Amino acid sequence: MSHGIPGRFTYHPPLTEERARQHQSVRALCMALADSLVTLVPDGRELALTLTNLEQVMFWANAGIARHPDNGGQPETDPRTCETECGEVPPPGGR
């Protein structure tokens, strides 16, 4: 059982301008929320956890965009990186 490891640990670059815009929108929304939250929540553990979890929100949202493109839910593959089907790993620095 692969547990989806290739899809979890393969870089999924945005292969279209639309996908890149979606990633940027997520980052911009999270940054705007972070900017607002730091003005509302006092410094301390709670603010630190708030920002850490907002980073996780950004990560998982972007992972969802990258891992589940509009191609039947299969991760995108890019010949410049890994081939997710065979698990081939490129040498350091790419191909």
Q: Residue 9 domain-assigned? A: no
Distance CA 64, CA 59 (A): 9
Do 17 and 78 contact (CB within 8 A), yes or no? no
User: Domain residues for 50?
Assistant: 16-66
Q: Residue 87 domain-assigned? A: no
* DSSP states along 27-90: HHHHHHHHHHHHHHSPSSHHHHHHHHHHHHHHHHHHHHHHHS-TTTTPPP--TTS-BTTTTB-P
78 pLDDT more than 70: no
Q: Residue 77 domain-assigned? A: no
Q: Residue 28 domain-assigned? A: yes
Give the tens place of pLDDT for each residue, 9-53. Answer: 888 889 899 999 999 999 999 999 999 999 999 999 999 999 999
Q: Residue 54 domain-assigned? A: yes
Q: Residue 51 domain-assigned? A: yes
Number of structural domains (the chain) is: 1
Q: Residue 60 domain-assigned? A: yes
Give the tens place of pLDDT for each residue, 49-75. Answer: 999 999 999 999 999 999 886 644 445
Q: Residue 32 domain-assigned? A: yes
pTM over 0.75: no
